[in-house]
Chain A
Amino acid sequence: MRGLKVFLNGLLKENPSLVLLLGMCPTLAVTTGVSNAIGMGLSATAVLICSNFVISLLRKFIPSKIRIAGYIVIIASFVTVVQMFLQAYVPSLYDSLGLFIPLIVVNCIILGRAEAFASKNNIFLSALDGLGMGLGFTLSLTLIATIREILGNGTWLGISLFGEGFQPASIMILAPGAFLTLGCILAVINLISAKRNGGNKNA
């Protein structure tokens, strides 16, 4: 029961990129297409599960003074593994994500979960937290990428949706579109949560 709660926490209530606003760089940079977003999300998820697992395993042995440096080394090792894996098996994704694969190391979500969750909880819960947070991250990246790819390119996962007549607004897949899309999504979330809170007060 506790496990399910931990898992759902990352997926919805504390969604890393839409609620906690962590890991903004990949959220904005790789969401030009749905396939990139899913690739980045799953890579980060893999790193997050592994690093949470190992850090939770070692939480009683890492001295608290140098724990951040220790976490960074553990995370960087897993990022290197993922990087080599992608380069070997999915070279097209490796090329299109480019610089942002090694930059998973400095993604605040991963270090944040290591510090806030994995260093205090057991192995099972930590891995589950990594899975929930990672999937939450993937889901929100996919949402942003869906909006940007449909409006900016007229496609979803590379499949053309509207045919010849559609004039794509290419600004949406350029840099300004990323900020604009995320701003609008956050505004909608604000609107929904304000309504909910208002409803609770009335009741």
Chain B
Amino acid sequence: MLKELLIISLSAILIENFVLVKFLGICPFLGVSKKVNTAMGMGFAVIFVMACASALTWLVQQYILVPFNIEYLQTIAFILVIAVLVQFVEMFLQKNIPVLYKSLGIYLPLITTNCAVLGVAILNITKFSAVSGSFIKSLVYGTMAGVGFTLAIVLFAGVRERLESSDIPKFLKGMPITLIAASLLSIAFMGFSGLKF
């Protein structure tokens, strides 16, 4: 079991990195990666929400959607769960851990429309619903996918901080050079696809 979980974690972080290989969560990846600090904040907020969302959507699927035979409502149910979850997390942090709220505050509302969160919830169901220990596996996969997102966005923020000060042809400034840099980072992550177990 432990070995399986390790393999799931490694593949979620490196081999099938959500941002650079699966193209989930590109909007925050391009939008909030100008500075390493903000990228870090966004990353931790995403890890937290993805872990909670994985657990909650698994429960909703197993105990509400399947027993009542309404699996076709999956998309609607999951997006509502995520939206409510984000709202609750925001209120909870504001009241109980104000320090964390202050550092994550502005990123939390943005996470509702981060497709990586809905993506991981749906992937968990298609990947693990038929195997044993699916709850733990979903939880680990969700958390580690968040770690992979954080890794990618922090690395990329480091690259972008350097791009700011370098001399780039005028027509490449801004988005074009950013995307080309992302392409190079993505090539680097393709190297991990050689990791096979």
Interface residues of A (CB under 8 A from B): 21-22, 24-25, 28-29, 69, 72-73, 76-77, 79-80, 83-84, 99, 102-103, 105-108, 111, 171, 174-180, 182-184, 186-187, 190-191, 194
Contact A72–B23 (Cβ < 8 Å) = no
- Residues of chain B with a CB closer than 8 A to A187's CB: 171-172, 176
List the one stretch of B47-55, B96-104, B114-122 in contact with chain A: B114-122
Q: Could you name 11 residue pairs across A and B whose Cβ atoms are closer than 8 Å?
A: A21-B175, A24-B30, A25-B26, A72-B79, A72-B83, A76-B75, A102-B74, A102-B122, A175-B20, A183-B179, A190-B176
**Nearest 6 Cβ contacts at the A-B interface:** A183-B179, A179-B183, A29-B23, A187-B176, A24-B26, A180-B183
Q: Among the interface residues B30, B73, B182, which one has the most CB atoms of the partner chain A within 10 A?
A: B182
Contact residues, B6-63 vs A (CB, 8 A): 20-27, 30
Of B21, B80, B176, B186, which contacts A72 at CB under 8 A?
B80
B130 within 8 A of A: no
Contact B176–A106 (Cβ < 8 Å) = no
Q: In the complex, A80 Cα to B114 Cα: how many Å?
A: 19
Contact A175–B24 (Cβ < 8 Å) = no
Q: Given A106-B114, A191-B171, are A28 and B26 also a contact pair (CB < 8 Å)?
A: yes
User: In which size bucket is the chain B interface?
Assistant: 35 or more
Contact B170–A194 (Cβ < 8 Å) = yes
Q: In the complex, A183 Cα to B50 Cα: how many Å?
A: 29
Q: Given A25-B25, A174-B190, are A182 and B75 also a contact pair (CB < 8 Å)?
A: no
- Residues of chain B with a CB closer than 8 A to A25's CB: 23-27, 115
Q: In the complex, A121 Cα to B162 Cα: how many Å?
A: 44
Of A21, A83, A106, A178, which contacts B79 at CB under 8 A?
A106
Q: In the complex, A28 Cα to B115 Cα: how many Å?
A: 13
B129 within 8 A of A: no
Q: Given A21-B175, A102-B118, A194-B171, are A73 and B30 also a contact pair (CB < 8 Å)?
A: no
Of B72, B173, B176, B190, which contacts A184 at CB under 8 A?
B176
5 new A-B pairs (CB below 8 Å) besides A102-B74, A176-B190? A76-B75, A107-B115, A175-B23, A178-B183, A187-B171
CB proximity of A33 to chain B, nearest CB, Å? 15
Q: In the complex, A103 Cα to B176 Cα: how many Å?
A: 25
Contact B79–A105 (Cβ < 8 Å) = yes
Contact B23–A178 (Cβ < 8 Å) = yes
Contact residues, B100-154 vs A (CB, 8 A): 112-115, 118-119, 122-123, 126
Q: In the complex, A111 Cα to B20 Cα: how many Å?
A: 24
Q: In the complex, A100 Cα to B174 Cα: how many Å?
A: 27
Q: In the complex, A20 Cα to B133 Cα: how many Å?
A: 43
- Residues of chain B with a CB closer than 8 A to A108's CB: 27, 113
Contact A176–B176 (Cβ < 8 Å) = no
Contact residues, B74-93 vs A (CB, 8 A): 74-76, 79-80, 83
CB proximity of B117 to chain A, nearest CB, Å? 8
Contact with A along B179-197 (1 / 0, CB 8 A): 1101110110110000000
Contact A80–B73 (Cβ < 8 Å) = yes
